[in-house]
Structure 1
Amino acid sequence: MKSLFLLTALASVLSLSSCQNIGKRNGENLTKTGVAVKSEKATFYIDTLHSGLDNPWGIAWLPDGRILVTERKGEIFVFENERYTGKKIDGFPEIYERGQGGLMDIQRHPQYAENGWLYVTYAEPGQGGGSTVLIRFRLNGNQITDLETLYQTLPLSTSGVHFGSRIIFDKAGYLYFSTGDRGVKKNAQLLSNDMGKIHRLHDDGRIPNDNPFVHDPTAKHSIWSYGHRNMQGMVYDSANDLIYATEHGPRGGDELNVVEKGRNYGWPVITYGIDYSGAIVSELTEKEGMEQPIHYWTPSIAACGLLLYTGDKYPGWQGNLFSGALASTHVARIEVSRGRYVDEEKLLQNIGRVRQVAQSPDGFIFVLTEGPGMLLKLTPGE
């Protein structure tokens, strides 16, 4: 089975060679002002809006034109007219800044104009370590008000890895957020804890009565899916009522999944990766009752952030997924069709560790990178 896996992985790498060459040529020109980047289905320019970030994580647009960018160290930067104002949001609670932990994703409520709710996931400190927490709050100018804790994941851990975490809403208004296994592999298979899961809630934190394990007294009733390692990309496809999620593998085996109710995604029982030491995590790449990814990356790209493009600024990209790549320092443009992987192209090769790719309300694509820490805008070209 492992031999078959290695042959499949090699074929996957070879099939991307032409895309990699395009990406490398693009990367050489990324810092040159006014140079068009030509990709397979679009030509665009890169506008560096800000280059003073450290570890940016999430981005949200407000109806008044402000853009909010979260920093893992616990700050939320305020942009106006696509430029940093020098101001930050005040009143955010203490964070657990340890390893990968800190301030993570930010999303506005689908009816933000009516209710003013912003949703954030962050690592919160506590006795015995830290945990991923989901909160919501409103803003009065740049001051946080009405802060509510909606969900705290348990158990607490002193581990500095695998906190997750992304937030999405579906068209029915349900909220989903992801959590990592906190570096303890068995957590992902245990329904009795919150780690290595996708959770589904009402927008006020209540648990829906049609969640898959809501009648299991031994399970966390918020769980929507399980068997995940560390999901840092998640997006909702409203046209097809699908959730796509990207998941960090260990050494190899990063995954793109279609997430469905109550399904087990296999970690660590099945995996297309090996441990960082080279040790075998599992001899199995598939097992009955466990879901297969629609695509996986070996070697790992360190998939992070995920966008489903629905705008009209780049017609050739409509309906494509865009995943950041931390380790491979590029953006993966992924063609999908109703939950099936079709093709892939590398964009912005060598741009930096891409943490998030997002779409503005007017349909432009923005990219957050670290090392260097930048907020970039892709402007369509002829």
Structure 2
Amino acid sequence: MKTTKILCAILLSSYLIGCQSNKVKVPDSPYPISDDSFTMDTIATGFVIPYGIAILEEDEFYITDRIGKMFHIQNGNKTEISGMPKVVTFGTPGLPAIMHGGLMDISLHPNYASNGWVYISYLGEDGLAKVSRLKVHDNAATEFQPIFATRHTNYTGNGMRIVWEDETHFFLNVGNSNFSTSSNPVLNAQDLNDDAGKIHRLLEDGSIPADNPIFKGFTSPSTIWSYGHRDVQGLVLDTLTHTLYGVEHGPKGGDEFNIIEKGKNYGWPLFSYGINYDGAWVSTISQDSAATFTVFPEHYWTVPTNDGGQAIAPACLLQVTGSTISDWNNYFLIGSLAYRRLMKYNSETGKTFGLKIEGRVRIIKQLPSGNIIALIERNDLRQSNGFIVKISE
């Protein structure tokens, strides 16, 4: 079955699990471990893949779990929110691993205090990647409104992060981590009639902003802001410079750190610094050709190995400023799924360091105090032992 082969390859590439085993392998950090000073406190446990977090107060949050659950956490107490949409999750048959789909990001409307809107992204039962908004009353989802759905089924996207540009616009990434080679390219990310492999920009009600790009061959804008992405899983907006940053999965190596610009083509799968999981070449054009019409990453990661390189598999991104942990200020924090470790990256020097925080960190955000909160998925595929930590000086 083609889907099974693809998922096995992805599993192998991220070192999560072998296709004949249910034991998680924890590799060493491929980068120097930075001896930063911080403390960690566990504030909630019992999750499978805690994926998204919306911060209400210093000690109050909404959390999504990829299996399709949403929780309200307040002062360490966890309450499940009922009425969530049914979602699709899947992996490799016979293994208790979730590789794709499910309930993903969660975000508060910038005017949440007055309108109460909570936004979620997920893969629906029909296989469409979706965004809906809702309100929470008495621990139940109410006023549920679907506002965006991809035009085609999308079983290969994991990111679906929601980032607000201002009070009326938000960005949404939809992945396209297909099994693509130079001899058999899968070009969904280059197809502007397909929503996969794109970053979208929408109005708060899901409609199309009039100032979105109008691409060649089209007469009006769509939700698409940029294209040619593989699977962006970390997205952050620098509100001071209005710069949108994204980290995305390459195949076997070639994970990218990008500055996302309006209307630009980021090249997947026409050109990539990574290779396919079976060692096959991915790029269909040369670097010189790609330079004429695509945007190269500001930085990319391929960990050298004797079989062509290894991905770090970036799962989230946080630009740190004003943190209580001074060693992290002016760095980007990145959760590496492949190496099961939080990392920090300096975009000015290009240097990456491992941190003394192990686990598959799915999302990291900064609290009002400047402390950091991190959601870490289960380390035993047979248990629901994912957890949430607060990191402080």
Which range, TM-score by smaller chain?
A: 0.7 to 0.9
Matched, 1:162 2:157: yes
Shift of residue 343, structure 1, vs aligned partner: 2.7
Larger CA deviation: 48-57 vs 110-119: 48-57
Deviation digits for residues 266-313 of structure 1 (CA, Å, limit 9, x no counterpart): 000110000111111116344311001111110311101111123341
Identify the range of structure 1 (162-171 vs 294-303) with the bigger mean alpha-carbon deviation: 162-171
User: Which of the numbers 364, 376, 379 marks the counterpart of 2:371?
Assistant: 364
CA distance in 2, matches of 1:168, 1:233: 10
Q: Measure how far apart 1:125 and its partner are.
A: 1.4
Deviation (angstroms), 1:220: 7.0
For residues 163-212 of structure 1, the C-alpha deviation after alignment (integer angstroms, 9 at most, x for no partner) is 43111011464100000126273000000110100000111112111101
Matched, 1:293 2:297: yes
Q: Identify the range of structure 1 (137-146 vs 251-260) with the bigger mean alpha-carbon deviation.
A: 137-146
Q: SS of the counterpart of 2:145? A: strand
Q: How does 1:321-340 map to 2 (within 5 A)?
A: 321-337=332-348
Deviations 1:20-75 (A, max 9, x none): 3426xxxxxxxxxxxxxx42xxx101112233221111111125952111111100
1:44 to 38, 49, 59: 38
Higher mean displacement: 177-186 or 137-146: 177-186
Quick check: 1:171–1:238 contact (8 Å CA) kept in 2?
Answer: no
- Normalising by the residue count of structure 2, what TM-score does the alignment of the two structures yield? 0.80
- The alignment of Structure 1 onto Structure 2 pairs a total of residues equal to 336
Larger mean CA deviation between 216-225 and 102-111 belongs to 216-225
Counterpart CA distance in 2 for 1:325 and 1:263 is 26
Structure 1 unmatched ranges of 5 or more: 1-16, 24-37
Shift in CA distance, 189/214, structure 1 to aligned 2, threshold 3 Å: closer
- Confirm or deny that 1:69 pairs with 2:77: no
- Counterpart of 1:187 in structure 2 is 188
TM-score (norm 1): 0.82
Tell me, yes or no, if the aligned pair for 1:194 and 1:220 is still in contact at 8 Å.
Answer: no
Same amino acid, percent of matched pairs: 38
* Aligned partner of 1:309 among 302, 320, 327: 320
Deviation at 1:219? 8.0
What is the 5 A alignment of 1:1-382? 20-22=31-33, 38-39=35-36, 43-63=37-57, 65-81=59-75, 83-85=76-78, 87-99=79-91, 100-126=100-126, 130-157=127-154, 159=155, 161-171=156-166, 173-181=168-176, 183=178, 185-213=186-214, 217=218, 221-282=222-283, 284-285=286-287, 286-298=290-302, 299-337=310-348, 342-348=350-356, 351-372=358-379, 373-380=386-393
Write the letter of the residue equivalent to 1:280: W
| CA–CA distance in structure 2, aligned partners of residues 222 and 18 of structure 1 | 38
Q: Which amino acid aligns with 1:178?
A: N
3-state SS in 2 of match to 1:121: strand
Aligned-partner SS, 2:113 = helix
In the alignment, structure 2 segments of 5+ residues that lack a partner are 1-27, 92-99, 180-185, 303-309, 380-385
Q: What is aligned with 1:7? A: none
Query: Stretches of 4+ moved more than 4 A in 1?
Result: none
1:314 to partner: Cα distance? 2.3
The one-letter code matched in structure 2 to 1:210 is D
Contact in 2 for aligned 1:193/1:220 (Cα 8 Å): no
What's the RMSD between the two structures over aligned residues?
Answer: 2.2
